Amino acid sequence: MNWRMNKNKPLPAKRKEDIPYIKEGITFKEWKAKNGSGHKWRSIRWTVLISINVLFIISFSLDLAILEGSLSGSRLIGFYLMDPFNSLQELVISAYSGHFGLLTMNFAIGALTILFFYFLMGGRTYCSWICPYHFLAEWGDKLHNYLVKKKKIKEHKFNIYLRFVFWTGFLLLALLTQNLVFEDVNPVGILSRAMIYGPGLILLWVLALLIFEIVYSKRFWCSYICPIGATWSMVGKLSPFGVKFELDKCAHCRDCQDVCEVPHVLWFVERGKATKVRHDAGSDCTRCGLCIDACPGNALNYTIKGWDKIL
């Protein structure tokens, strides 16, 4: 049977002599120490995320027409950029009220530009490379994991498709109220506006959400509620850019799943689960690079689908 062509069954277990660290005649611990890659991509990603958010602040503070507005809607050197979920809410409101005059050419260009950009980047790239709440949540993850390890708290997980219920719900609320209801509770927009224009009491909501994620359910907002991430997940399904997995380089240590923010996208790293010699992470992947940094065997890498690895 050709296991490589049969996508419904896992590949057979690798022969012992084919496992990377046994090939080199060293222990798995020695192999990990030799091949570990540190925090390269996390450092690059944090630099990009912080730089973009600081540019918003500088542009406003110095009255520079570089990156104006906030992450809910902005202008880059006069070129409009629109958050796709906010754009969907606007479309729903306009369709119901019949006031399509608000949907200008700038609106269309701004929404389509961002959609095209994140289609190219794939998955939920926005979440890990741009979103300021994601940055805070990463630090919250560390405290959450520590408390779980010390058995001070228990991890609580929910169905990942719950966020599509909220995605639909927020659109219905926009329709019924004729307002962008989501923006009232969106920690991304709240943090972005607070950094640019100054803090307010609404930041207490963001703090409460972060504490809830630390003590009860890790990444609750990002994983189960946020319609922005759900939108990017749908947009990125056909993206050419992503993270690829090569079975012949994997020792099934699962370090990548331990650090992954959405570990279900790396199901194929579990021993006996892979159905092909190469897999691509799904559109839920945030392209954060944590798995690439963690993999000692270089089995995970950024790629453009159809091309060899590029980085």
pLDDT in tens, 40-70: 899 999 999 999 999 999 999 999 889 999 9
> How far separated are the first and last CA of the chain, in Å rounded?
34
pLDDT for the residue 4: 37
pLDDT for the residue 245: 93
Q: Across residues 169-198, what is the average pLDDT?
A: 93
Residue 285: count other Cβ atoms within 10 Å of its Cβ.
26
DSSP letter for 102, please.
G
pLDDT for the residue 122: 80
Token pair listed for 167: 């995605």
pLDDT for the residue 2: 34
The whole-chain average pLDDT of the chain stands at: 85
Q: What would the CATH number be for the domain defined by 16-36+240-304?
A: 3.30.70
Q: Across residues 217-222, what is the average pLDDT?
A: 93
Residues of the chain with CATH 3.30.70: 16-36+240-304
Are the C-beta atoms of 60 and 192 separated by less than 8 Å?
A: no
Per the model's pLDDT, the better-predicted residue between 94 and 144 turns out to be: 144
pLDDT band of 7, cuts 50, 70, 90: very low
pLDDT for the residue 18: 53
Q: Across residues 84-94, what is the average pLDDT?
A: 86
pLDDT band of 204, cuts 50, 70, 90: very high
- 235-272 pLDDT, tens per residue? 888 888 999 999 988 888 888 998 998 889 999 999 88
Q: Across residues 219-230, what is the average pLDDT?
A: 92
Please name which of 32, 11, 25 lies closest in space to residue 248, comparing C-alpha atoms.
11
Q: Is the pLDDT of residue 24 over 70?
A: no
Across 22-26, 85-89, 266-270, least confident range: 22-26
Q: Across residues 4-32, what is the average pLDDT?
A: 55
Can you tell me which residue has the tokens 């959405």? 262
Q: Is the pLDDT of residue 1 over 50?
A: no
Q: Across residues 188-214, what is the average pLDDT?
A: 95
Q: What is the spatial distance between Cα 227 and Cα 224, in angstroms, rounded to a whole number?
A: 9
Q: In terms of C-beta distances under 8 Å and separation of at least 24 residues, what long-range contacts does 204-213 make, across chains too? A: 206/133, 206/136, 210/136, 210/137, 210/140, 213/137, 213/140, 213/144
Q: Is the pLDDT of residue 86 over 90?
A: no
What backbone torsions phi and psi does residue 50 show, to the nearest 5 degrees? -65, -40
Token pair listed for 136: 């805070």
Per the model's pLDDT, the better-predicted residue between 59 and 82 turns out to be: 59
Q: Is the pLDDT of residue 214 over 90?
A: yes
- 161-178 pLDDT, tens per residue? 999 999 999 999 999 998
